[in-house]
Amino acid sequence: MLVTKTFHDIQTQLDSGGRALRIFVISPSISKYPQAKFPGVVVFSEIYQVTGPVERFASQIASQGFVVACPSVYHEFEGPEAIPYDVEGTDRGNKYKIEKTVAAFDEDAKLSINLLSTLPNCNGRIGATGMCLGGHLAFRAAFDQRVLASVCFFATDVHSATLGKGKSDDTLIRVRNGDLTGKGELVMIFGKQDTHVPRTGRDLIRTTLDDANVTVSFLEVQAQHAFIRDESSKGRWDAALTRSLFSFMMEVFDRTIGVDLGPLVDDTKPLEHVC
């Protein structure tokens, strides 16, 4: 499917500076179906905000028939522009990650889900995905009962509970308390060579989810951290594996959140061809 791109600036309550959260929206477009409705997916980015690789990943999801919302996670500190994939950018993104409160991360997720739920081309059935920091945020988004499936790529800081200001998040505590039990489907994907999430950390996450009777698929593959990033991956990008796991993710979303095309409109106007 073809896709269109726009953005919405939304005021938050927890940002004392009054800066708006920018949410980029990428939507599928089907000729002659102007009232088509699609499920929604929130795509949470790495520590670099919505970069080219994140936008391309989100656009591929949208082209499969999903309205995609990509929040700029560091609006409290700077504009919505992508942070460079360099040493300074990495240091900046990691610094913001532990200066922003977990409550503020959660508010951004809630506002992104709220936005999708109110868009005229979204049917209100919501999923979430993300990578690195975004994998953790997609995990936390699953606590929202409106999120029916979350696919988390190499989620950082879950095992160590070090997300947010004070480096003391409650993600696994909430899992143990039953906050994911009986809710949507969760998929956790990790590279076995990922130095950010060692084997002991992956084992802790898997055991905690299983002990809480969460509906989860736990995949460990032969890959390093950031293996789905097609730019500045420092030699870690695995295109074939990314394609395979993208298909796995789409099967989960197709099965859990569905699509509604609405009525057919017979538009007899000739299509404009743009080269």
- CA 18, distance to chain mean position in Å, is 24
Is 275 a residue of the active site?
A: no
Between vectors from CA 256 to CA 182 and to CA 169, what angle results, nearest 5°?
50
Q: Which of the residues 108, 144, 194, 238 is marked catalytic?
A: 194
Which runs of consecutive H residues, i.e. helices, occur in the chain? Answer: 52-63, 87-97, 102-118, 133-141, 171-176, 199-211, 239-257
Q: Which of the residues 70, 75, 108, 132 is marked catalytic?
A: 132
C-alpha 26/C-alpha 70 separation (Å) is: 8
Is 194 a residue of the active site?
A: yes
Q: Are 225 and 236 in contact (CB under 8 A)?
A: yes
Q: Which of the residues 108, 179, 225, 238 is marked catalytic?
A: 225
Q: Which value, in Å, is the radius of gyration of the alpha carbons in the chain?
A: 18
Non-local CB neighbours of 171 within 8 Å, separated by 6+ positions = 136, 139, 140, 158, 161, 163
C-alpha 133/C-alpha 142 separation (Å) is: 15
Q: Tell me the catalytic residues.
A: 132, 194, 225
